Structures are given as structure tokens and as C-alpha cells.
Structure 1
Amino acid sequence: MQRRQGASKRATVHDVAAVAGVSRGTVSRVLNGGYVSAEARAAIEAAIAQVGYAPNTAARNLVTQRSQAIGFLVLEPHSLLLEDPNIGAIMLGVNAVLSDADYQMVNLVIDSARDIERITKYLSGGFVDGAVIVSARANDPITRLVADLALPAAFVGHPPDLRQGIPFVGVDNLGSARAITERLAATGRERIGMIAAALDRDSGADRLAGFRQALGPRFDPRLVAEVDFYNYTAGMDGMRELLCREPRIDGVFAASDSVAAGAIQVLREAGRTVPGDVGIVGFDDSPWAQRTDPALSTVHQPAKEIGAHAADLVLRQLMGETPPTGGTLMPTPIVWRGSA
């Protein structure tokens, strides 16, 4: 095909070699990290700048069978991806580690059957070398596909049907939920409820289990409002439901900080003071915890560090290391503020 008139020609290794006065092999050694003399390296680097040479990544990938890309798979609605600061922090942690290793992060958000079909084709086509998977559910088709492809991967969180050979990194949701509920109860609250979110995922189910353990015989299933997502609107809906069931409720464990923020808004509208009438605690220690008035007592979840560790697990597999069996749990200290 004839080159369009006026289009600039892409600089090649031959161009660099000609300007630098060295062989093409010497240029290739520099580009691939090999040894050459200091004088030759300086001449080649100056020639690269002069001719505007950029490595042909596509051609290199054809040879290496690597895309130099890692998928960041989020199995959540698009709206929650934008609202949940936890997911954003995890993503930043993943991207920082991949960037240092010269890998590109590819965001893949899955919240519909069409998304599943499209991303199944994408993953099967070899467009990414590995994957970090967030918010996997039981019997998820994408999780099965990653396992079937033997794609180097790591879960954020512990999915109910953890696939053999795929490590995970997360937090002790059950133990942390139990600890903060016990501390809430120690403030003297008598009628403690929970806004339990995302019960189809390990984090939501485990936080409810921890809440139940903390209360023991005091646990009242009527005082658990189940909502679908970790978001502000769900917190408002759950709090309205709890007030309807038990107007004298005086303590609430919200499954996330954004859920707690929605609950505080409803309590304020109902004329209830926090923490005077109702003590409330959350989970994540996200920016939501500082936006509430009063500031929210919560569990600190090191989201950025979790993402970084998950990315590192994927890269280690790509270097040939066998992934660790089981998973890694990061520390989650309680952060006690004015809301309880």
C-alpha cells in the first residue's frame, strides 16, 4: 500500500545504528539491556533522541507472546466503581506496582451478561498476561475462565469457591467485624442492628457472621437490614428499614463507611443524634469516614496495600514462581472516632 503523502516514516533500529555509527546488533544490545561500552551507549542514546525512535512493542509482543498488560477485573456495577473509594485505592495500588514493572493495567468492569461475553473473548484472546480480580462471587464465569486458561491471577478478597492455584489477598472481615461490634456494645448500647451489604460476596457474609458472633445471645435477626451494595443509597434504605422495625435502636454496625454515611443522613432526618441517640460504626476507613459528622468510627482496611500485594502476586507468577497456597490477610486496626 502506498504511503500517504506527507506521512512521517517510523524510525527503525537501522536508522539509530546509522546515525550512531554502530552496528544494528550493538543497538539491539542496548535496547535489551545488554553490555556495550559507555561511548557506544552514549552515541546510541543520542541517536535515539535525534531520530525519534520508539520500540515497536507490538512486534516484540509477537515474539515474546506477552502483551505486557494485566487486567484489573472488577465484578461490580459501573456506578459502584465510581462511588466506592476502596476500589479506587485498590486500583491505585495495583497500578503503582505494575507501572514499576513496565506493565500496563487494563480496567475491565463486569456488571452484565454482555460484559461477561465480551470480556470472556478478550481474556481468551491473550490480550492480557494476568489478572487481578476484585469482588468475585460464587460460581462466577469469569473466575472459572481465568482458572481454565491458567492465567496468572490473584483475588482481592476470598471468593466462596476459591479456585485451586489462584492466591488471594484480603482482610479478616469476620474477626474485624466482631471486634468493632464488641467495642460498640461496650459503650452501653442495648439494641444494636446491622446494615448488611453484599451478602453474595465473602466480605459481606463474613462481616455479618462477625457481627452475629459479637452479640451472641443478644443477636436479633430482626435487626439486620440486608442491602445489595456497599453504597450511600443502600445505607439510607437500610437505616429506614431498621428504624421501622425497631424505633428504639441505639447502635448500628454498617457494613462499609459509605453505607454508614447514608445511615447517618437518615438518622439526622429522623431527628436522632449521633452518637447521643444512636452510636454507629463502619468498615474501611475510607474518605467517607472523614466526611461524616461526627467522624466515623471504623475498621481500617489498607486498600492500596492490598492492591499492591495482589499485583505483586501476579507478577511473581509471570516470572515463574509458584503462587502461595491460601492467601494473605492484611492487618485491620480499629479507628475510634466520634460516631460511637
Structure 2
Amino acid sequence: MPKRQVTLDEVAERAGVSRSAASRVINNAPHVSRAKREAVQRAVDALGYVPNATARALATQQAGSVVLAISGEDPALFADPFFAEVVVGISSVLEETDLELVLSLATSRRGQARLEQLLRTRQADGVMLMSLHENDPLAALAQQADVPVVFGGRPRDFEPSYYVDADNRGGARAATEHLIAGGRTRIATITGRLDEGAGTARYQGFQDALAIAGLEASRVAHGEFAEDGGAKAMGELLSRWPDLDGVFVASDQMAVGAMRVLREAGKSVPEDVGVVGFNDISGARHTVPPLTTVHQPIQALGREMARMLLALLAGEQPSPLILPTRLVVRASG
């Protein structure tokens, strides 16, 4: 009877490392800490593991860097609390390797050309893409890339093979249901961009909750995911529906702008208008009043994107991942 072949999972378990880390060591990838490399090698020797030649070949000719490309033109995006936390999450995983993180704003022609050059000349081992819009040229670049690509969030117009996303629709529904449970009946929403997957999903969650409750879902204003966008949209809502008593805002930064406009209009939060945001950025608990919001694990989003990319670099085929969201009740709604 032939001897059973030792699996990579058994090697990883014995070495006390992740399957991805074990695979990278076995495939001779350079971006692994010395301690992990030695632990995996001891496990390989002890178990008599025979590595897969195909997977080993995929791990050669590494450039030593990966790219986080965001569909945008404003450098201030990387100072946005959301993207800043994503970068922290990605970096926490990459610091265990020798891979460097390259940040790229890739909406302008110059940015696209720079990213295309990186991919064509294989100056990067892999790419993480975020905030893609409908018909975004970055999607075409990703399809043509000869390196692994992981999407942060599902694009609105297609389903990529590898992505990490949050339960945007379920979170938005929970936020709106919270306003309904508080006795609000004239509820509005400020959406994010509806040519992005997250903006569309959060708007759908808002509609879901109102449809189930039999309430009108026509009080809608659209904005960018920024404080000024929330302020402008809140002004539009008040001009059309001055008697609204609740608003679900598709991002915390927009919610900050919305609450400012409500105060300027003489509306008290939450007595006159309940406000619920989305993301649970670090500043949400310090607004006046503290913001009720939907928590999505932003740093975990970055960590899982990086882990998925490392798994692809190791010759694995990870499954797409949806991270859970949860309502955090504070004082605004």
C-alpha cells in the first residue's frame, strides 16, 4: 500500500504558521521571516513533505513590492481615516515579509500609465485595487495584468475572482432598522457614489429596511464619501423634506457634515433627527453627539487583502471573503 502524501496543511500546523506562510517558504519565496522559514523547514524535514513543483515555479522572480492602487486623483485620499486604516492593516501583514508597499492614485492618465508600467515590467509582484467606479479603466488594467490582483470591495459592474469586502448591504439595513425601531417614520438617506459597489449596496440596504417596514424610501440625496458632500446633501434633504426625522448616511465623514448642517438649521440630534453613519472610523465616538454607526472592520479589510495576495503569490487559490458588519449604538440616533 503506497504511503500517504503529507499535506501542506500538516506542515503548517506542525510549524505553527499559516498555510500561506508555509507555502511561501516551501516555494522559496524571499518574503518570509527567518523564524518562520526555520520552523517550516524543520516541519518539512520531520514529516518528509515533498513540495509541489508547479507551486514552486509560481513563486520565482519576485520583484519585492506590491501595489495598493486607489481609483482617485486627490493625494489627500491616503489621509482619509478609512484608507489610512486600510493601509495600517495591509502594512501589519507585509511587515512580516520583505515586501514593500507602493501606494498609487491611478485615476489620472499619468497615474494609469505609471501603474501600467509597473505591471507590464513586473516591477511589482501583485496589486490590490480599491474604490473602482463603474467602467473604471483600472479594471481593464487588472484583467491584463500578469501578476495577481486582489480587489478591496466588489466593483459595481463585475464580480472579480479574488476580493475582500464588507457586508455593506446588511449593515445599511441594520442602520435603517435601528432608526425605524426608534419610532422614526420620515427617514432619508445620503448615499455615497452609486457607481461604486459600496455606495450601491448601502443604498440597497436602506431600501430593503424601508420596504419591509412599509415606509416611503423616496427621501434620497447623493454625495461623495466626504464631509463636504454630506453637508451639501443634508442641505438638499432639508430643503425638500424639512420634516424628516431620521437619516442614514453612507459614511461617517458625510454624517459629520450632515450633523453640522442640521445644527445650523436649528435641528437637534437625535431629538429632532436621528442620524446613523457607516464605517465607525476612530473619530465617530468623538462627534457631538457621539455617532451611532455601522462598524466595518477596516483594518481587517486591509489585512485580509494582503493575506489573500500573499496566498496568490504562493500559488494558492483563496476564496473571496465577506467581512461582517455590526451596529454600534451611541447617542446620535
**TM range, normalised to the smaller chain?**
0.7 to 0.9
Task: Give 1:329's aligned residue.
Answer: 322
Q: How far did residue 237 of structure 1 move?
A: 0.2
Conservation of the 8 A alpha-carbon contact between 2:170 and 2:325:
no
Task: Give 1:318's aligned residue.
Answer: 313
Divergent runs of 4+, >6 A: none
Larger deviation: 192-201 or 111-120? 111-120
**Is residue 115 from structure 1 mapped to residue 108 from structure 2 by the alignment?**
no
Q: Helix, strand or coil: the match of 1:131? A: strand
Quote the Cα distance in structure 2 between the aligned partners of 1:131 and 1:318: 11
**Among 108, 123, 129, which residue is 1:127 paired with?**
123
**Is residue 139 from structure 1 mapped to residue 135 from structure 2 by the alignment?**
yes
**Among 249, 253, 271, which residue is 1:254 paired with?**
249
**Among 277, 282, 287, which residue is 1:287 paired with?**
282
After superposition, where does 1:238-277 map in structure 2 within 5 Å?
238-277=233-272
Quote the Cα distance in structure 1 between the aligned partners of 2:233 and 2:75: 19
**Among 95, 100, 104, which residue is 2:100 paired with?**
104
Quote the Cα distance in structure 2 between the aligned partners of 1:107 and 1:291: 29
Classify 1:194/1:83 alpha carbon distance in 2 versus 1 (closer, same or farther; 3 Å).
Answer: farther
Q: How far did residue 179 of structure 1 move?
A: 1.1
Conservation of the 8 A alpha-carbon contact between 1:280 and 1:296:
yes
Task: Give 1:220's aligned residue.
Answer: 217
Q: How far did residue 235 of structure 1 move?
A: 0.6
Conservation of the 8 A alpha-carbon contact between 1:120 and 1:142:
no
**Among 231, 234, 255, which residue is 1:236 paired with?**
231
**Structure 1 length normalisation: TM-score?**
0.77
Conservation of the 8 A alpha-carbon contact between 2:128 and 2:150:
yes
Conservation of the 8 A alpha-carbon contact between 2:156 and 2:200:
no
**Structure 2 length normalisation: TM-score?**
0.79
Q: Which runs of 5+ in 2 are unaligned?
A: 1-33, 39-59
**Is residue 188 from structure 1 mapped to residue 187 from structure 2 by the alignment?**
no
Task: Give 1:200's aligned residue.
Answer: 195
**Among 148, 151, 154, which residue is 1:158 paired with?**
154
Q: How far did residue 311 of structure 1 move?
A: 0.4
Q: Which amino acid aligns with 2:109?
A: A
Conservation of the 8 A alpha-carbon contact between 1:84 and 1:230:
no
Task: Give 2:331's aligned residue.
Answer: 338
Alignment deviations for residues 19-73 of structure 1 (CA, whole Å, 9 cap, x no partner): xxxxxxxxxxxx9x89xxxxxxxxxxxxxxxxxxxxxxxxxxxxx5221100011
Classify 1:322/1:118 alpha carbon distance in 2 versus 1 (closer, same or farther; 3 Å).
Answer: same
**Is residue 86 from structure 1 mapped to residue 79 from structure 2 by the alignment?**
no
Aligned residue pairs, count: 276
Quote the Cα distance in structure 2 between the aligned partners of 1:142 and 1:312: 21
Quote the Cα distance in structure 2 between the aligned partners of 1:193 and 1:268: 17
Identity of aligned residues (%): 38
Which has the greater radius of gyration? Answer: 1
Conservation of the 8 A alpha-carbon contact between 1:153 and 1:313:
no
Q: Which amino acid aligns with 1:86?
A: F
Q: Which runs of 5+ in 1 are unaligned?
A: 1-30, 35-63
Alignment deviations for residues 77-109 of structure 1 (CA, whole Å, 9 cap, x no partner): 425514521111111111111121111000011
Q: Which amino acid aligns with 1:252?
A: V
Quote the Cα distance in structure 2 between the aligned partners of 1:83 and 1:247: 34
Root mean square deviation, CA, Å = 1.9
Conservation of the 8 A alpha-carbon contact between 1:98 and 1:104:
yes
Q: Which amino acid aligns with 2:289?
A: P
Q: How far did residue 288 of structure 1 move?
A: 3.0
Quote the Cα distance in structure 1 between the aligned partners of 2:106 and 2:240: 35
Q: Helix, strand or coil: the match of 1:100? A: coil
Conservation of the 8 A alpha-carbon contact between 1:83 and 1:231:
no
Task: Give 2:54's aligned residue.
Answer: none
Quote the Cα distance in structure 2 between the aligned partners of 1:140 and 1:146: 10
Classify 1:79/1:269 alpha carbon distance in 2 versus 1 (closer, same or farther; 3 Å).
Answer: farther
Conservation of the 8 A alpha-carbon contact between 1:261 and 1:288:
no
Q: Which amino acid aligns with 2:97?
A: A
Quote the Cα distance in structure 2 between the aligned partners of 1:113 and 1:207: 30
